[in-house]
Structure formats: structure tokens, C-alpha cells
């Protein structure tokens, strides 16, 4: 039976306190204004939520996937965009930690040890996303430097990050054609585009990132040249279980809590609507789906930590199941929560309608749910 460690429970409690006292009260306003909440980021940094994956000597705790999942879930119960902020930063940290040179790790981690800096992962482009081999961004070797050119699309934390981990083409062959290169925010030629106006995940800045002859030293390459595809398929993809899936779980748990509270307080025909079988059965179904998603996520996180990188095909299939199922559940649970809240549910101040919009975004980002079903069915059926 899965059981949290004492340290994990303490971390979960501290994050829960932050979300209840600081994040939840501002969630509606952040969604309404769609402004990046710098004050909340500072408060998250004060309890070391942005350095979880750093090694001990740089102020982190070298957090495993279960711990990261717990943190992201708790934050996303109150405000999912802040969960995506943690996901983006920890994803890049984990990639640098696994594949970066000792010199790069020391240089970057020392800069990040203050705990208040963010990181962005830059894969998606106008004409490429899940089809990474179609990326058009190039990194051309010029002596001890790379010259980067291209546009990245829908980049979370664009314009507010310290570093950008860019996946770029370093060769024309289909195999070993991609590399990952770390670009500092002050690099000449790095230009942030117009902020995207999204229906959900508002408050989490996304924008285009343009690279216009950006010159980056070869020492900023993460991993070997041509290792980008390996990093994407065998490392980055496994992050979906503690990342996107955990954001979805937080949304579902948050929406369910609001629905239960409202159903107890709202009276019709002289009694709480929670006493009516129609509402009780809706709530029961919502909890069953949410708990099933949680169990799948916890099991998958355990296997990812146990196996290490790269994980087996069977575990990678579970990662896709966790992301796909949890985000589908989040949409269903949040939508049912809106229904239970009735007229109030469609008002802007009602959290479930925001959660419903956020959940829809999770079905799409970090590999759409259609792509996850391709991965699952491929592992299930094998070669024909």
C-alpha cells in the first residue's frame, strides 16, 4: 500500500497552508486579470517550491516524482496555472541535472539557489509539437558557439524566466538531429513575442519566443549533440505523470470540494440539495473518478522512480494513461461541479467554471490526449 513519508507529509502541509491562505483568495482575480502573480511566486520561493529538484548543496531536496506530484496537485487545487509554473521550472531542472555537464550544473544551479528564478521548456513551434522531428528551429555550430534561429510557440513562462531550454535542430538527418541548448534571458537575439490570450490557465504567461541569430556558447548544450530526441522520448515524456496529470488531479479535487460544500449549503424544498439522490450520485461518480486518477498517478510515479530513466515501454504507457485519464476526469468533474452549482456555477466568481476551463487546457498541452492514446495503443497492440 502506498504511504507518504514524514517529509512528504510536511511538504504537503506547508504547500496546503500557502494555497489556502495566499493563493486561493487571489485565484479569481488572477484569472480575471490574467496577470502574472509575482507576489505569489515570491511566496512560493520562500518555502523553496521552485528549487525542489536541485541537489542538496544548491538548496534543494533532490525531490522524487511523488514529492513533485504532491506539490503540484496541492497548488492546482487552488489555481492550476501556478501548478504549471512549478512543472515548467522543475522539468528543466531535472533535465539539466540528468544530462548537463558538471560545469553547466554548477554555474546554473548556483544562479538558481536564491530560489526565486523560473525556467521555461521550449519545444512547440508554429508547425511542430508532438512531431518533434519536424522542428524548424536550428542551432548551427560556429566555432565554440551555436547560432540559434527559429520561433517557439505557446511557451509557458516566456518573458519571466531566467533560462530557456530550447530544443533545436543540429543536423538534417532524422536520427540524432535534435539537441537541447540552455539560453539565458539576456542573450542578444532572444525576443519574447505577444502574450497569448487564453481561455484557461490564465495567470500563467505563455507567448512566442523568437531566436534571431542568438549566439550561445557550446558549454550551454545540455547533453551531447544529437541527444535531444533521447531526452524528449525517454525523459521529458515521463514527466507527464507528476506534471500535467498532477495538475489535472488538483483541478478535479478542487472542483469536487467546491461541489460538496455547495451541495451541503444550498437548500431547495426545505433541505440541502446534497440530500437528493441525483446530486449524491453525481458526487459519488466524481469522487470515484478522482480517486481512480490519483491511484493511477501514484502507481506510475512510484514506477518511474523505481525504474529510473529511461523507463520501460510499459511504464511509459502508464504515464500516458495517467496524463490522459486524469485530464479527462478533470474536465468531467469540473463540468459536473458547475452543473451542481447551477446558476452560480456559470458566474465568473465561481471557482468550478475556472477549473473547467483550466482542465480543458490540460487535455491539450504536454502532448494532447489523442497523442497519449496513440502511445497507449501502440504499446498494447505492438507491431502488426
Q: Which three cell numbers stand for residue 226?
A: 544529437
Whether the CB-CB separation of 318 and 296 falls below 8 Å is answered with yes
Does the domain formed by 6-112 have CATH 1.10.3720.10?
no
pLDDT tens for 129-156 read 778 888 999 999 999 999 999 999 999 9
Going by their DSSP bridges, the two strands 221-222 and 178-184 should be labelled as antiparallel
**Is it the case that residue 173 has pLDDT exceeding 80?**
no
CA 9 vs. chain centroid, Å, equals 21
pLDDT given for residue 1 in this prediction: 54
pLDDT tens for 216-236 read 999 999 999 999 988 988 777
**Is it the case that residue 16 has pLDDT exceeding 90?**
yes
Domain definitions of the chain by residue range: 6-112, 119-226, 232-381
pLDDT given for residue 189 in this prediction: 98
pLDDT tens for 315-359 read 999 999 999 999 999 999 999 999 999 999 999 999 999 999 999
Instruction: Write b or e for each residue in 6-32: b if 16 or more Cβ atoms lie within 10 A of its Cβ, otherwise e.
Output: eebeebbeebeebbeeebeebbeebbe
**Is it the case that residue 3 has pLDDT exceeding 90?**
no
Whether the CB-CB separation of 43 and 78 falls below 8 Å is answered with no
Q: What is the mean pLDDT of residues 302-322?
A: 92
- Same CATH fold, 232-381 and 6-112? no
Long-range Cβ pairs for the range 347-352 (8 Å, 24+): 348/28, 348/32, 349/28, 350/258, 351/27, 351/28, 351/254, 351/255, 351/258, 352/255, 352/258, 352/259
CATH superfamily, domain 232-381, is Butyryl-CoA Dehydrogenase, subunit A, domain 3 (1.20.140.10)
pLDDT given for residue 116 in this prediction: 85
Per-residue pLDDT band at 268 (split at 50, 70, 90): very high
Backbone angles phi, psi at 133, to 5 degrees: -70, -10
pLDDT tens for 61-95 read 999 999 999 999 999 999 999 999 999 999 999 99
Does the domain formed by 119-226 have CATH 2.40.110.10?
yes
CA distance 167 to 335: 36
Whether the CB-CB separation of 279 and 273 falls below 8 Å is answered with yes
Amino acid at each position: 500500500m502506498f504511504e507518504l513519508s514524514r517529509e512528504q507529509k510536511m511538504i504537503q502541509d506547508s504547500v496546503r497552508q500557502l494555497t489556502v491562505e495566499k493563493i486561493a483568495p487571489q485565484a479569481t482575480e488572477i484569472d480575471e486579470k490574467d496577470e502574472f502573480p509575482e507576489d505569489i511566486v515570491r511566496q512560493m520561493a520562500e518555502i523553496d517550491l521552485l528549487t525542489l529538484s536541485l541537489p542538496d548543496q544548491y538548496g534543494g531536496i533532490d525531490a522524487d516524482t511523488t514529492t513533485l506530484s504532491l506539490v503540484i496537485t496541492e497548488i492546482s487545487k487552488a489555481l492550476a496555472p501556478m501548478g504549471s509554473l512549478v512543472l515548467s521550472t522543475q522539468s528543466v531542472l531535472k533535465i539539466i541535472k540528468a544530462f548537463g555537464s558538471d560545469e553547466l550544473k554548477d554555474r546554473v544551479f548556483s544562479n538558481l539557489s536564491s530560489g526565486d528564478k523560473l525556467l521555461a521548456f521550449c519545444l512547440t513551434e508554429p508547425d511542430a509539437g508532438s512531431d518533434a522531428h519536424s522542428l524548424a528551429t536550428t542551432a548551427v555550430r560556429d566555432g565554440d558557439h551555436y547560432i540559434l534561429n527559429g520561433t517557439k510557440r505557446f511557451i509557458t513562462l516566456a518573458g519571466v524566466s531566467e533560462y530557456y531550454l530550447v530544443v533545436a535542430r543540429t543536423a538534417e538527418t532524422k536520427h540524432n538531429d535534435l539537441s537541447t541548448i540552455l539560453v539565458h534571458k539576456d542573450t542578444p537575439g532572444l525576443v519574447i513575442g505577444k502574450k497569448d490570450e487564453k481561455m484557461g490557465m490564465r495567470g500563467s504567461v505563455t507567448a512566442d519566443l523568437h531566436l534571431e541569430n542568438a549566439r550561445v556558447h557550446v558549454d550551454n548544450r545540455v547533453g551531447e549533440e544529437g541527444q535531444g530526441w533521447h531526452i524528449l522520448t525517454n525523459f521529458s515524456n515521463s514527466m507527464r505523470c507528476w506534471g500535467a496529470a498532477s495538475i489535472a488531479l488538483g483541478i478535479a479535487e478542487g472542483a469536487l470540494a467546491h461541489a460538496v460544500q455547495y451541495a451541503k449549503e444550498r437548500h431547495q424544498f426545505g433541505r440541502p440539495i446534497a440530500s437528493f439522490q441525483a446530486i449524491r450520485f453525481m458526487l459519488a461518480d466524481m469522487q470515484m473518478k478522482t480517486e481512480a486518477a490519483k491511484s493511477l498517478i501514484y502507481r506510475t510515479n512510484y514506477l518511474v522512480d523505481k525504474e529510473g530513466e529511461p523507463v520501460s515501454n510499459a511504464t511509459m504507457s502508464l504515464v500516458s494513461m495517467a496524463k490522459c485519464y486524469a485530464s479527462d476526469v478533470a474536465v468531467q468533474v469540473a463540468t459536473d461541479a458547475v452543473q451542481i452549482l447551477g446558476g452560480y456555477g456559470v458566474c465568473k466568481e465561481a471557482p468550478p467554471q475556472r477549473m473547467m476551463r483550466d482542465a480543458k487546457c490540460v487535455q491539450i498541452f504536454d502532448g494532447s490526449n489523442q497523442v497519449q492514446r496513440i502511445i497507449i495503443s501502440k504499446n498494447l497492440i505492438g507491431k502488426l
